[in-house]
Amino acid sequence: MEQQRSAQRPEWRPTVMTLEEVARYLRINKSTVYRMARDGTLPAWKLGNVWRFKKASIESWIASNQRAQRQKLRRRA
Protein backbone atom coordinates (compact mmCIF):
# COMPACT_ATOMS: atom_id res chain seq x y z
CA MET A 1 0.00 0.00 0.00
CA GLU A 2 2.85 2.41 0.85
CA GLN A 3 4.41 1.85 -2.58
CA GLN A 4 1.14 2.83 -4.22
CA ARG A 5 0.90 6.06 -2.20
CA SER A 6 4.49 7.07 -2.92
CA ALA A 7 3.96 6.39 -6.63
CA GLN A 8 1.05 8.85 -6.62
CA ARG A 9 2.94 11.69 -4.90
CA PRO A 10 4.40 14.27 -7.23
CA GLU A 11 8.17 14.55 -7.19
CA TRP A 12 9.30 17.36 -4.87
CA ARG A 13 11.17 20.12 -6.65
CA PRO A 14 12.45 23.32 -5.08
CA THR A 15 10.69 26.52 -6.04
CA VAL A 16 13.63 28.65 -4.94
CA MET A 17 17.06 27.79 -6.30
CA THR A 18 20.60 28.67 -5.29
CA LEU A 19 23.19 30.09 -7.67
CA GLU A 20 24.81 26.65 -7.93
CA GLU A 21 21.47 24.98 -8.75
CA VAL A 22 20.73 27.54 -11.46
CA ALA A 23 24.19 27.04 -12.95
CA ARG A 24 23.60 23.27 -13.12
CA TYR A 25 20.05 23.77 -14.46
CA LEU A 26 21.22 26.11 -17.24
CA ARG A 27 24.50 24.22 -17.72
CA ILE A 28 26.58 27.37 -17.47
CA ASN A 29 29.39 28.48 -15.18
CA LYS A 30 28.52 29.82 -11.72
CA SER A 31 30.40 33.04 -12.46
CA THR A 32 28.17 33.59 -15.51
CA VAL A 33 25.04 33.13 -13.39
CA TYR A 34 26.45 35.55 -10.79
CA ARG A 35 27.22 38.17 -13.45
CA MET A 36 23.80 37.82 -15.09
CA ALA A 37 22.03 38.11 -11.71
CA ARG A 38 24.12 41.12 -10.72
CA ASP A 39 23.46 42.84 -14.07
CA GLY A 40 19.73 42.10 -13.91
CA THR A 41 19.77 39.87 -16.99
CA LEU A 42 18.63 36.88 -14.96
CA PRO A 43 15.68 37.30 -12.55
CA ALA A 44 17.05 37.00 -9.00
CA TRP A 45 17.24 38.63 -5.60
CA LYS A 46 19.74 38.67 -2.77
CA LEU A 47 18.88 37.16 0.57
CA GLY A 48 21.60 38.46 2.83
CA ASN A 49 24.80 37.75 0.94
CA VAL A 50 23.47 34.98 -1.30
CA TRP A 51 21.56 35.05 -4.57
CA ARG A 52 18.21 33.28 -4.84
CA PHE A 53 16.23 32.45 -7.96
CA LYS A 54 12.57 31.44 -8.36
CA LYS A 55 12.44 28.41 -10.60
CA ALA A 56 9.25 29.66 -12.28
CA SER A 57 10.96 32.98 -13.06
CA ILE A 58 13.96 31.19 -14.57
CA GLU A 59 11.65 29.05 -16.71
CA SER A 60 9.75 32.16 -17.86
CA TRP A 61 13.05 33.88 -18.64
CA ILE A 62 14.11 30.88 -20.77
CA ALA A 63 10.79 30.87 -22.67
CA SER A 64 10.98 34.63 -23.24
CA ASN A 65 14.52 34.39 -24.59
CA GLN A 66 13.54 31.52 -26.87
CA ARG A 67 10.66 33.59 -28.32
CA ALA A 68 12.94 36.59 -28.82
CA GLN A 69 15.54 34.41 -30.56
CA ARG A 70 12.92 32.92 -32.91
CA GLN A 71 11.63 36.39 -33.80
CA LYS A 72 15.16 37.61 -34.46
CA LEU A 73 15.82 34.66 -36.76
CA ARG A 74 12.54 35.27 -38.66
CA ARG A 75 13.47 38.90 -39.29
CA ARG A 76 16.77 37.83 -40.83
CA ALA A 77 15.08 35.41 -43.21
Confidence check: pLDDT of 34 > 90: yes
Among residues 62, 64, 63, 39, the alpha carbon closest in space to that of 51 is found at: 39
Number of H helices and number of E strands within the chain? 4, 3
Quick: pLDDT tens for 2-26: 455 555 666 777 799 999 999 999 9
- The range of the structural domain enclosing residue 36 comes to 14-76
What does pTM read for this prediction? 0.75
Name the more confident of 41 and 3.
41
What CATH number has the domain bearing residue 28? 1.10.1660
For the chain, the domain total comes to 1
Residue 6 placed within a domain: no
Q: Report the amino acid identity of residue 11.
A: E
Residue 4 placed within a domain: no
- The pLDDT score that the predictor gives to residue 1 is 47
Eight-class DSSP state of 11: P
Quick: pLDDT tens for 49-68: 999 999 999 999 999 999 98
